């Protein structure tokens, strides 16, 4: 999705190559971290539905928060690297384009 958004903003071949390298490097860790967040969310929901006490639920929530924060930092670093690689203006335009496309799928 990110590469497609960059192409729609007419990023150069060099920018696309650099962006692809960054995405490939982060592809090794970020999806695993995102899956970890989902596992922690599932554990918290199971704790809620299985009658765990407040101390147990608080521990689950603390772990979810820690995992979520770590994942968001990883994703943020990847986005920062991409912005540097393709230039701030191209990055912002591509992310606005992607946000507009994604917002069609999510209703508030």
Tell me: the pLDDT tens digits for 7-32? 999 999 999 999 999 999 999 999 99
Kind and range of the H or E element at 72? helix 54-86
pLDDT at 54: 96
Quick one: what percent of the chain has pLDDT higher than 90? 91
pLDDT higher than 90, residue 48: yes
pLDDT higher than 80, residue 78: yes
Degrees to nearest 5, angle at CA 41 with 28 and 23: 20
pLDDT higher than 70, residue 108: no
Determine phi and psi for 24, rounding to 5 degrees: -65, -40
Domains of the chain and any CATH numbers: 2-103 (1.20.58)
For residues 103 and 58, the model is more confident at: 58
């Amino acid at each position: 999705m990110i590469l497609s958004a960059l192409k729609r903003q007419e990023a150069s071949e060099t920018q696309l190559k650099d962006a692809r390298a960054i995405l490939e490097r982060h592809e090794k860790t970020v999806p695993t971290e995102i899956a970890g967040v989902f596992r922690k969310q599932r554990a918290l929901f199971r704790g809620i539905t299985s009658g765990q006490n407040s101390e147990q639920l608080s521990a689950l929530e603390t772990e979810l928060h820690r995992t979520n924060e770590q994942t968001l930092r990883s994703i943020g670093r990847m986005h920062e690297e991409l912005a540097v690689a393709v230039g701030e203006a191209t990055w912002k335009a591509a992310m606005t384009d992607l946000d507009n496309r994604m917002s069609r799928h999510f209703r508030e």
